[in-house]
Amino acid sequence: DADVTQTPRNRITKTGKRIMLECSQTKGHDRMYWYRQDPGLGLRLIYYSFDVKDINKGEISDGYSVSRQAQAKFSLSLESAIPNQTALYFCATSGPTSGRAPDTQYFGPGTRLTVL
């Protein structure tokens, strides 16, 4: 089974609708992230959470909100979807590192969201 799962994998919605994307992980990591990926713009961080009580805005948080329901679950909401939120969304996790190991991010399979 995948360590980081995302639901749904694909979603088409209309402008103004509320959308929730869900992420679950079995890696036991404290840190979780939401990114969006657009052609030519790479991965951009939306929100991140270092534990259940810690939520931080990333570089493009406007129009998004998140909820960290448990260590293993991190949801991203679009309160009122707009067409320029059409993108590929990734959830990622990372854990504490030891010694000379860098922080490695483990990504889910992505959610392809289309807002019409």
Binding residue (CB under 8 A) for another protein from 23, 24, 74, 110: 110
Say whether residue 100 binds another protein (CB under 8 A): yes
Interstrand relation of 73-78 and 64-70 (parallel, antiparallel or unpaired): antiparallel
CA 96, CA 24: separation in Å to the nearest integer? 18
Buried b (16+ CB within 10 A) or exposed e, 78-101: beebeeebbbebbbbbbeeeeeee
Say whether residue 104 binds another protein (CB under 8 A): yes
Say whether residue 87 binds another protein (CB under 8 A): no
Say whether residue 94 binds another protein (CB under 8 A): yes
Provide the token pair at 60.
Answer: 């493009």
Binders in 47-76 for another protein, by CB under 8 A: 48, 50
Site residues for another protein per CB under 8 A = 4, 31, 40-43, 45, 48, 50, 90, 92, 94, 97, 100, 102-110
